Amino acid sequence: MSVRHQVSDELLLDYASGSLSEGWRIAVASHLALCPQSRRRLAVMELTAGALIEEEQPESSTADDDDAWSAMRTRLAAGGGALSGGVDTPRPVSRDAIVLPEPLRSYAGGDVGSLKWRPLGRGAYHILIPTADKSTSVRLLRIPAGKPVPEHGHGGRELTLVLSGSFNDGGEVFARGDLEEADETLEHQPVATPGEDCICLAVTDAPLKFRSWLVRLVQPVLGI
């Protein structure tokens, strides 16, 4: 089954250029490992960038300029990881083999069955993924089948990548490999679909804005 909700062109271009910070790169690289369509789009972007660089190269240049252009061409030829600023090249994964793709599995320290989940309440769990990026929060979420996430808005950007199960948001179903991009304009309440817990990767750059005063009360403790 193909991935229906792919990374946006804007975000993919930022990934290809190496301008994303670590948290966002983890999300995009993990999506790429699960989405052949997005990998093909990335390859086209890299080939196009390489062609443009060749066209723009001046006829006469210093040795230093030649070295710089050569290094850039090498990075383009190396693929997504070479352009992603430190996150390994995403590799396609088998759904039957593992749940967490690389590079996410290495960041988490294993696959979902070996991790220590912390309770969030109402049957939900999370795991904070440590990174050197202080501008984003990276975590795994496990939402019980058929249960909703508390209604919330956003103080910034949020990327949510489905790794197992699925959720429904506004009539749209997001399943394994699907990436949802949210910003300050979106207020929503995703609901895990029945039959299987939904495991997601969530990356944010600002605290969520919950409607419930009770959730807001415990929000600093939970770190969400």
Average pLDDT over residues 15-24: 93
Domain of residue 129: give its range: 104-222
Domain-located, residue 92: no
142/209 same-domain check: yes
66/115 same-domain check: no
User: What pLDDT does residue 86 have?
Assistant: 46
Domain-located, residue 68: yes
The residue to which tokens 């230093």 are assigned? 64
**Percentage of residues of the chain with pLDDT beyond 90:** 54
25/133 same-domain check: no
145/195 same-domain check: yes
Q: What is the pLDDT of residues 85-130, one digit of tens each?
A: 444 445 544 445 689 999 999 999 999 999 999 988 778 899 999 9
Domain-located, residue 98: no
72/108 same-domain check: no
From 57-66, 168-177, 194-203, the region with the lowest mean pLDDT: 57-66
Domain-located, residue 27: yes
169/214 same-domain check: yes
Are 159 and 179 spatial neighbours (Cβ–Cβ below 8 Å)? yes
Are 6 and 42 spatial neighbours (Cβ–Cβ below 8 Å)? no
Domain-located, residue 95: no
What is the pTM for the complete model shown? 0.77
Q: What is the pLDDT of residues 33-89, one digit of tens each?
A: 999 999 999 998 888 766 656 555 555 455 554 554 444 444 444 443 333 444 444
Domain-located, residue 96: no
Residue 179 pairs in a beta bridge with 161
Helices (H), the chain: 9-17, 22-34, 36-56, 63-78, 80-83, 104-108, 213-222
53/162 same-domain check: no
What is 48-87 written as a DSSP string?
HHHHHHHHH--SS--HHHHHHHHHHHHHHHH-HHHHTTSS
Domain count, the chain: 2
Can you give the CATH number for the domain in which 199 is found? 2.60.120.10
Phi, psi of 102 (to 5 degrees): -80, 145
